[in-house]
Amino acid sequence: MTETLEFTQQRSDRPKSAEERAAILANPGFGKHFTDHTAVVDYKVDADGSGGWSNARIEPYGPIMMDPAAAVLHYGQEIFEGLKAYQHDDGSVWTFRAEANAARLNTSARRLALPELPEETFIESLRQLVAADKAWVPTGDGEALYLRPFMIATEAFLGVRPAHEVSYRVIASPAGNYWGGELKPVSIWLSDRYSRAGEGGTGEAKCGGNYAASLAAQLEAEANGCQQVLFLDKFNDNAIEELGGMNVFFVFKDGSLVTPELNGHILHGVTRSSVIELAKDRGLDVQERKITIDEWRDGVAAGDITEAFACGTAAVITPIGELKADGWSIASPSAGSGEVAMSIRQELLGIQTGAVEDSRGWLTRL
């Protein structure tokens, strides 16, 4: 039986002033501003080889003191999660499918040879951090407090083996639209030079290395006027995998909704699985299957594919306006509206913010 850890509290003696906080909350952007506190839990492997979590605490947000030989700085032994906290009309704060994030953190932990964190400690870390920084939860349309749990190998040791000292932390950041400004369809760049993941690799894990490996392709996307990059599986008929930081869906004229199947390379997106459930409940024929870049191109040309959209915790649901590739492009016929995408987005945000009944028990009060 795991012992439930109690969080000790060390409150910041230099929190941002109410004026500074209000200025940030008026236009939070994404990932630029951080709250006054952080949650931390330490892990250590003892001499007898047994390991355990201890010293759960809330402490002031600030730089991490770390040995320059810490394993994470050399071998990238790191995993993370992303989820959001929403303030409802009565002032209560809720998070969405946090158990799914706790489970995925542990799947990632197993792949990166990091210790698993008990689900109750994961949820409690969010609860304690949000209690300390409740004033930071934004309430604007489509806004929320983005919670970023992460785990890093802190042991100072240069041999290549799983670290014996690890730190689990959560930081929080008020968030609006991931791309800034009003929600608009995004342009996607097709990377035919880089892969995101391969068979037996870390594609399914939410680890920093996957995102670091996407950045050269992301630079290419930006140089071509696009906001995200799409990765294909070149060894599987150019099957569509995912974007640099989000999953992808296609709406067909016949009422089906298609998303790439979870083939071991693709992140098990919590928003992805929520979209699948919401769409099935609407009677859409949801297909998790292989979809190639040729099927997208031909499907749009023939009028069979009517929408494409990206989804993720940060992106929520964002229509894809166009796909650009070297020498050709696919325009989405409903680039401006993305009717199905926007309707599912509205339902999802409605559940998250308390405007639509949570009949599936997806919300947890923090």
Q: Which is nearer to ligand COI, 53 or 362 (CB)?
A: 362
Main-chain dihedrals φ then ψ at residue 277, nearest 5 degrees:
-65, -45
Cβ density class 174-213: b for 16+ within 10 Å, e for less: bbbbbbeeebebbbbbbbbebbbbeeebbbbbbbbbbeeb
- Residues near 218 by beta carbon (within 8 Å), at least 6 away in sequence: 228, 229, 244
b (16+ CB within 10 A) / e for 108-138: bbebbebbbbbbebbbbbbbbbbebbbebbb
β 228-233/186-190 pair status: parallel
Provide the minimum distance between the beta carbon of 2 and ligand COI in the complex, in angstroms, as a whole number: 26
Q: Per rule CB under 6 A, is residue 149 in the interface with ligand COI?
A: no
177 binds ligand COI (CB under 6 A): no
Q: Binding ligand COI by CB under 6 A: which of 245, 299, 321, 338? A: 245
Interaction of residue 174 with ligand COI, rule CB under 6 A: no
Four-residue CA torsion sign, 226, 216, 231, 209: negative
- Piece of the chain touching ligand COI by CB under 6 A; list 36-44, 310-318, 321-329, 354-362: 310-318
- Residue 162 or residue 208: which is nearer to ligand COI going by CB? 208
173 touches ligand COI by CB under 6 A: no
Helix (H) or strand (E) holding 26: helix 18-26
Comparison of 286 and 310: residue with beta carbon closer to ligand COI? 310
Binding mask 23-62 for ligand COI (x = CB under 6 A): ----------------------------------------
Q: Is 205 in the site for ligand COI (CB under 6 A)?
A: no
Q: What number of chain residues touch ligand COI (CB under 6 A)?
A: 5
Amino acid at 342: M
Nearest approach in angstroms of CB 254 to ligand COI is: 30
Applying CB under 6 A, which residues contact ligand COI? Answer: 82, 245, 312-314
